[in-house]
């Protein structure tokens, strides 16, 4: 079960052409556990800015958090489900689910038109934002997987020269997609490997430019506690969604920690991929 989002509030500006038609728009992850729908808030769009949701910080702030929930996450709120950029129906927000891993998770139920792949997570929004599409995302081919692995190896070797290019890597959660209709193909995924008693985990956006594949963005996480994995950070692709209405999808990732979770959003600006939002770590 995923854990609570971080307590602090950080504002990150969206592009000037961002489309926001109501005061606050909720962005969340929807997942399936034991056939039940669970909604975990990721961020809010408020006044053209991505905002971290306020959550439980300490017993002294319970009243503030309860007020925040009443104002923003009332039971019965309708959210549109987006998966792989496609509209997949609607859900109705239910009650909050208390617990160490779920102080800020909510139950949910179908609004009657829900149809999505329950084997993987999806995104949900309280307002129809950005553009939708149904043909961007697909499984990577064996050739694309090989290109992703090799490009990631090269990127890691450039960052850490001591890493042997022949080190065995494991490719995880890889998809082939595009960020917009007329754009270069992208490979989004992660690789992991062990070296000198340390575990490395890399999330990468790899772009095809002509006949070559080049790293457009890399995020590397190093873990020393190989046995207990208390410092583990496993960042993986979650989904994509155009949140600002510019026709280009933002890329969402989820990072799993030893006892926590965080979410990151990457955006494309002037042909460069960069981090535009980080929920921050949260956990017990």
Model confidence pLDDT, tens digit, residues 93-126: 998 876 554 457 899 999 999 999 998 899 999 9
- Average pLDDT score over the chain: 82
138-233: CATH, from 3.10.450.630, 3.90.10.10, 3.40.50.300, 3.40.190.10 = 3.10.450.630
Task: Flag whether pLDDT at 16 surpasses 70.
Answer: no
Contact (Cβ atoms closer than 8 angstroms) between residue 108 and residue 94: yes
Other beta carbons less than 10 A from residue 92's beta carbon: 17
Contact (Cβ atoms closer than 8 angstroms) between residue 100 and residue 3: yes
Domain residue extents for the chain? 11-129, 138-233
pLDDT at 147: 95
SS3 71: helix
Cα 177-181-182 angle, rounded to 5 deg: 105
Cβ neighbours for 269, distance < 8 A, ≥ 6 positions apart: 15
β-strands 170-177, 282-283 pairing: unpaired
β-strands 49-51, 11-13 pairing: antiparallel
Task: Flag whether pLDDT at 173 surpasses 90.
Answer: yes
Element (H, E) at 125: strand 122-125
- Nearest C-alpha neighbor of 253 from the set 208, 221, 213: 221
Cα 106-110-112 angle, rounded to 5 deg: 160
pLDDT at 266: 97
For the segment 263-275, the average pLDDT, to the nearest whole number, is: 94
Each residue's pLDDT tens digit, 160-169? 766 665 677 8
What is the C-alpha to C-alpha distance for residues 101 and 86, in angstroms, rounded to an integer?
29
Contact (Cβ atoms closer than 8 angstroms) between residue 140 and residue 176: yes
Cα 8-6-20 angle, rounded to 5 deg: 75
pLDDT band of 77, cuts 50, 70, 90: very high
Each residue's pLDDT tens digit, 126-160? 988 877 888 899 999 999 999 999 998 888 878 77
């Amino acid at each position: 079960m995923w854990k609570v989002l971080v307590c602090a509030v950080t504002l990150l500006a969206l592009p000037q052409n961002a489309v926001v038609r109501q005061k606050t728009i909720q962005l969340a992850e929807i997942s399936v556990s034991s056939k039940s729908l669970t909604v975990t808030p990721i961020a809010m769009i408020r006044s053209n800015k991505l905002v971290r949701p306020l959550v439980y910080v300490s017993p002294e702030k319970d009243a503030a958090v309860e007020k925040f929930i009443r104002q923003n996450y009332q039971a019965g709120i309708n959210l549109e489900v987006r998966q792989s950029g496609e509209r997949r129906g609607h859900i109705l927000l239910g009650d909050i689910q208390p617990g160490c891993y779920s102080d800020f998770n909510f139950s949910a139920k179908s609004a009657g038109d829900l149809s999505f792949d329950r084997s993987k997570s999806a995104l949900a929004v309280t307002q129809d934002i950005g553009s939708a599409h149904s043909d961007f995302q697909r499984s990577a081919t064996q050739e694309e997987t090989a290109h992703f692995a090799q490009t990631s190896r090269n990127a890691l070797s450039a960052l850490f020269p001591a890493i042997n290019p022949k080190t065995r890597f494991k490719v995880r959660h890889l998809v082939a997609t595009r960020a917009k209709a007329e754009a270069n193909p992208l490979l989004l995924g992660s690789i992991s490997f062990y070296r000198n008693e340390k575990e490395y985990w890399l999330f990468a956006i790899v772009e095809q430019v002509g006949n070559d594949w080049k790293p457009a963005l890399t995020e590397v996480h190093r873990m020393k506690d190989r046995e207990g994995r208390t410092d583990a950070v496993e960042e993986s692709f979650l989904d994509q969604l155009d949140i600002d209405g510019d026709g280009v999808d933002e890329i969402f990732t989820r990072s799993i920690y030893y006892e926590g979770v965080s979410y990151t959003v990457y955006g494309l600006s002037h042909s460069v991929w960069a981090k535009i939002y980080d929920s921050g770590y949260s956990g017990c």
